[in-house]
Amino acid sequence: MGCFECCIKCLGGVPYASLVATILCFSGVALFCGCGHVALAGTVAILEQHFSTNTRDHAVLSEVIQLMQYVIYGIASFFFLYGIILLAEGFYTTSAVKELHGEFKTTACGRCISGMFVFLTYVLGVAWLGVFGFSAVPVFMFYNIWSTCEVIKSPQTNGTAGVEQICVDIRQYGIIPWNAFPGKICGSALENICNTNEFYMSYHLFIVACAGAGATVIALLIYMMATTYNYAVLKFKSREDCCTKF
């Protein structure tokens, strides 16, 4: 067998679905964790400087955000290892591995491990649907603030007395208590907030983090199909010398 035929044979055994899902999962988790971490820090800075000058009013929120940043570290580490494990499982259930390392038969333990991956991937997929929805909340909040600033900048309202009556009350989102001061920013002061680097960066980073969460959901859906197919092959063809290329 020549080198070309050998390369074609090896490429034919690559689990492309698992490979695409792994790349998409790594990219999505990296975007979500990296951008989300920086955006959370920027959100705290905006609240402290403009919406809640008393530290005690947002002490609980600061602790929650700090805890979420630590959770982000754990999520990144877990999915890095989990993605590698699923990719390895995809490679080791291909016919190419069987032909390179000799004939083998599936065992009850192997089928049990494959079924465990199916169950865990489904649970993670449902969990990440919740994460994706949760990550859209700050995007919605920042979008409302940005759209209010655009109304202030519009020619119809710019320079008129009604500008100072256009306000954003961050307390209505429930992230700081109602007794927080000032809590509400109006007019030109609100426009100045929208022009700061913290607001601009946090807004766009939250959008990227939300997109990363969506990419991770898609990756987990691909993982679901791949692991389910692998388990089905191992289950129903356990007495045969065959395996999957998915």
Please say whether the beta carbons of 184 and 169 come within 8 A. yes
Q: Look at residue 100 in the predicted model and tell me its pLDDT.
A: 43
Least confident of 22-26, 45-49, 90-94: 90-94
**For residue 27, what are its two tokens?**
């990219």
Among 26, 134, 146, smallest CA distance to 76 is for 26
In whole angstroms, give the CA distance from residue 50 to residue 182.
8
The domains of the chain are located at 17-99+106-244
In the chain the beta strands, taken as DSSP E runs, fall at: 167-169, 184-186
Is 230's pLDDT higher than 50?
yes
Which of 28-42, 121-135, 161-175 has the least mean pLDDT?
161-175
Half-sphere exposure of 49 (CA within 13 A, CB side): 15
pLDDT exceeds 80 at position 119: yes
d(CA 241, CA 246): 16
User: Taking the mean position of all CA atoms in its chain, how far away is CA 49?
Assistant: 28
Least confident of 56-70, 71-85, 109-123: 109-123
Q: What is the model's pTM?
A: 0.83
Supply the pLDDT for residue 238: 59
Identify the residue with better confidence: 8 or 122.
122
pLDDT tens string 155-188: 566 556 567 788 899 888 888 888 888 888 888 8
